[in-house]
Structure 1
Amino acid sequence: MPANRTYSSENGLRSLPPHFHGFALMHIAMRRDAARLRAAAPRWNGAGTPWWHHLRETIEWHHTSEDDVLWPALRHRDRDFDAQARELHDDHEELDAAMHAVTTAITHHGEGLVKAAAAFEDILRDHLRDEETIVFPVFDRLGERAYLAEERKVVASAPMHVMTRLQPWMFDGATRQDLHHVRATIPPPVRLLGATVLQRRYTRTLKGILT
């Protein structure tokens, strides 16, 4: 990778090496849903509460799997990553606090949700931007085979309630071209389940935030 090149998923996947498209799709999905929450906050009627709980659980798993699985592996493989990983852990704590504030507002029938949703989106976007600046060059240096070996460990760490939502959530709004390389890493039976039963379940939950 050229020394002055910065990878980012903020404008999609085109600038990114294919082997970490799956990781990038999760970041794209988080930004998408933070924007959905912010749009829904002024008219909140409670219908989106299950959707929010699912999103929070997924984000919590995502950054816990980074702290517990992916970052230790990157430390082992890339000695420059160690100090940077500590910075990212601190960001995760700030993000947890922002999600807690959203949950509290939802528990109080939406009181304070406009402010909490806006803060959550801003903190999330800043965190993802910082994280990608740090870790995407590391993913690139690892190369496809080594990186995907670590990614499989991350996915395997997902609890079942997250695993069953992961594919339709990641794929929501993505183009066929975006999904080309990611689909190739998913066993065909799992792809089929994600595109049928799990997709229908995801779509039902999504209605709560889009109404």
Structure 2
Amino acid sequence: MIDNLPARRTIAGEVDFTMMYAAHDAFARHLDRIAETLDRDGRVSPGAAERWTLFAKQLHIHHTAEDEALWPALRAAIASPDELAVLDAMEAEHAQLDPHIERIDARIEAGSAVDAATGVRELAEGLARHMRHEENAALPLVDAYLGRAGWARFGHHIRSTQGISGAAVYLPWVLDGASADVATRLLAVLPPPARLLYRTTWRRRYRAQFG
């Protein structure tokens, strides 16, 4: 648990941020699991390296989508200096996380489990603070200025850039370790074909590879 992390703010608006919250929780959950695996094994096993690679890819996809299709649209819709400062902070925090990823990549490649685990925990703290800042300061602006239609356009951007192959990995990854309640709520917002593919194919394929 991250010390002094603010509580997640409830946004009583029109946008359903279920998918965003589920992704944020998955990032935290998978980082904890990677660090624990490195500690337990005392080495960088192929499984730990593979899980780290998948985590880093999902984080890159997530932040790239925000930088390309969410923050620019929001920036164009607002004018308040204080609100623009929130978007400046989001972009700066993304940039600050990149060196952490690069250092962990190098430690994983070098086979340094202790150093990699330390780096993962440092990243976990920085990422947790960024995600909570985003949830509590930026998402209310998304709700207020972009609304349900703008959020839907952001979702369409992700789906169009990642395609069916991206969804086939993302959905089982984001639900790996999630509570039954979160899984139910997240699957409820998906199109029926995606739910069917997840239950019949994607989840089984993911578990065969990652356990």
What does the per-residue CA deviation read over 1:93-141, in whole Å, with 9 as the maximum and x for residues that have no partner? 2212111111111101135212212211111112112222222212332
- The 5 A counterparts of 1:23-34 are 23-34=20-31
For the 8 Å contact 2:104–2:120, the answer to whether it is kept is yes
2: CA distance, partners of 1:145 / 1:176 = 28
Superposed displacement of residue 202, structure 1: 1.7
Identity of aligned residues (%): 24
Aligned amino acid, residue 83 of structure 1: A
Question: What's 1:169 paired with?
Answer: 173
Distance 1:178 1:79, change over 3 A: farther
Structure 2: 5+ residue stretches without partners: 1-5
Question: What's 1:3 paired with?
Answer: none
Distance 1:136 1:66, change over 3 A: same
Distance 1:159 1:56, change over 3 A: farther
Distance 1:77 1:150, change over 3 A: farther
What does the per-residue CA deviation read over 1:10-66, in whole Å, with 9 as the maximum and x for residues that have no partner? xxxxx4557111111000000101111221222232322122111111100100110
Distance 1:16 1:127, change over 3 A: same
Superposed displacement of residue 145, structure 1: 4.1
Work out which of the residue numbers 119, 124, 127 in structure 1 matches 2:122: 119
Question: What's 1:64 paired with?
Answer: 64
For the 8 Å contact 2:75–2:84, the answer to whether it is kept is yes
TM-score normalised according to structure 2 size: 0.81
For the 8 Å contact 1:165–1:202, the answer to whether it is kept is yes
Superposed displacement of residue 175, structure 1: 3.5
2: CA distance, partners of 1:138 / 1:197 = 37
Aligned amino acid, residue 130 of structure 2: H
TM-score normalised according to structure 1 size: 0.81
Structure 1: 5+ residue stretches without partners: 1-5, 10-14
Question: What's 1:12 paired with?
Answer: none
- The 5 A counterparts of 1:192-203 are 192-203=196-207
RMSD between aligned residues? 2.4
2: CA distance, partners of 1:88 / 1:99 = 17
Question: What's 2:55 paired with?
Answer: 55
Superposed displacement of residue 151, structure 1: 2.5
Superposed displacement of residue 167, structure 1: 1.0
